[in-house]
């Protein structure tokens, strides 16, 4: 028996999952941790991780490491995504994490993040053809799946935190601000040629902001375990109704919406813009939610490898379309 654990250090949150793996290769989840760290807070155009953000992130990573270290025969992987990827002081931060938390972090490109998302979804949901969207704090990954195979992917350098800092300047967001933000995202989608192949396909949603839609809806429907959303499906009309409620509310009102975390209330408006815009862009009639993404994808890569699942993948990075640089 062995143990495998994955730390996912995002722009907004840090998460860790651990599994027990038996001699047959069967896995059992034994640990799941999450802390909001806001690593990308106030990075701005200078792309510098701030000391306060690094301090609280390192404290969380040390706690994760200490808990994982109690597991026998452990393989621990730690991956950092958009905030660390974009940071000009990345080397200093990684050195501090190693020295103070005891964690070696691998900074992965957005395309690798998207591949992990694909593996996490395709192995746990009955997906044949779909568009996957993972909206994080500072990046959004899009993955086109056709006939169960990964066909196209792209990582766009926009997410709930950096979009909020650049575009959300009033509370609630003004009509003009909403128009500017949705127009920016729509222009980015216009530059992705293969999205025409996603027309009318169902969407699979990952990421904290997107999952909030499901949690709010499940609270409305009085589900006992409202956070158990893997495979939960919502129709477009339900999504639009919740989005309207969110954008019509000020910060204090958003904090009171059942299913919406108070820690996410200040960034949820911008965080939902990509998925709501994409639903209209490809004329999709339903959204299916996945709780499995990067960490689970890393598990399946560890267990099985990925070659048999990969098609002729076209990968792209969206840096040239980055509105944060304007």
* Residue-wise pLDDT tens digits, 169-196: 999 999 999 999 999 999 999 999 999 9
List pLDDT tens digits, range 225-262. 888 999 999 999 999 999 999 999 999 999 999 999 99
Q: Model pTM greater than 0.85?
A: yes
Coarse DSSP helix, strand, coil percentages of the chain, rounded to the nearest 5 percent: 45, 25, 30
Distance from the Cα of residue 294 to its chain's centroid: 8
Quote the pLDDT of residue 264.
96
**Beta strand ranges found along the chain (DSSP E):** 2-9, 13-21, 27-36, 74-80, 106-107, 130-135, 140-146, 149-156, 203-206, 233-235, 286-289, 310-317
Rounded distance between C-alpha atoms, residue 29 and residue 21, angstroms? 9
Q: 285 φ, ψ to 5°?
A: -100, 0
Domains and CATH numbers, the chain: 2-108 (3.30.420.40), 111-294 (3.30.420.150)
Q: pLDDT tens, 78-102?
A: 999 999 999 999 999 999 999 999 9
Give the model's confidence band at 325: pLDDT under 50 very low, under 70 low, under 90 confident, else very high: low
Residue with tokens 């002081």: 89
pLDDT for 315:
59
| Contacts (Cβ under 8 Å, ≥6 apart) of 4 | 18, 19, 21, 27, 74, 75, 77, 299, 302
Give Cα 301 distance to the centre of its chain: 19
In the DSSP assignment, the letter for residue 104 is -
pLDDT tier, 23 (very low <50, low <70, confident <90, very high otherwise)? confident
Going by their DSSP bridges, the two strands 203-206 and 286-289 should be labelled as parallel
Which one has a higher pLDDT value, 317 or 122? 122
């Amino acid at each position: 028996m062995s143990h495998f654990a994955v730390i996912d250090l995002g722009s907004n949150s840090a998460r860790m999952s651990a599994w027990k793996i038996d001699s047959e290769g069967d896995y059992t989840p034994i640990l799941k941790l999450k802390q909001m760290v806001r690593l990308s807070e106030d990075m701005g155009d200078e792309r510098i991780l701030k000391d306060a953000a690094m301090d609280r992130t390192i404290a969380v990573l040390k706690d994760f490491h200490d808990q994982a270290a109690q597991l026998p025969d452990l393989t621990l992987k730690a991956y950092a995504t958009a905030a660390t990827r974009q940071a000009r002081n990345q080397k200093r931060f990684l050195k501090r994490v190693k020295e103070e938390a005891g964690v070696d972090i691998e900074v992965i490109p957005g395309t690798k993040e998207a591949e992990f998302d694909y593996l996490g979804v395709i192995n746990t949901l009955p997906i044949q053809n779909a568009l996957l969207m993972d909206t994080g704090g500072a990046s959004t990954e899009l993955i086109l799946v056709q006939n169960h195979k990964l066909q196209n992917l792209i990582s766009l350098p926009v997410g709930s935190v950096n979009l909020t800092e650049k575009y959300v300047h009033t509370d609630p967001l003004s009509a003009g601000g909403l128009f500017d933000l949705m127009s920016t995202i729509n222009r980015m989608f216009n530059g992705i040629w293969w999205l025409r192949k996603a027309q009318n396909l169902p969407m699979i949603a990952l990421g904290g902001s997107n999952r909030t839609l499901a949690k709010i809806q499940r609270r409305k429907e009085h589900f006992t375990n409202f956070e158990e959303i893997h495979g939960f499906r919502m129709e477009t009309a339900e999504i639009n109704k919740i989005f309207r409620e969110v954008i019509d509310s000020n910060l204090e009102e958003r904090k009171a919406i059942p299913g919406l975390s108070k820690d996410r209330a200040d960034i949820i408006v911008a965080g939902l813009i990509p998925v709501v815009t994409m639903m209209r862009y490809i004329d999709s009639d339903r959204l299916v939610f996945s709780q499995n993404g990067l960490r689970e994808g890393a598990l399946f890569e560890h267990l099985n490898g990925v070659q048999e699942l990969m098609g002729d993948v076209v990968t792209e990075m969206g840096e040239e379309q980055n509105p944060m640089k304007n």
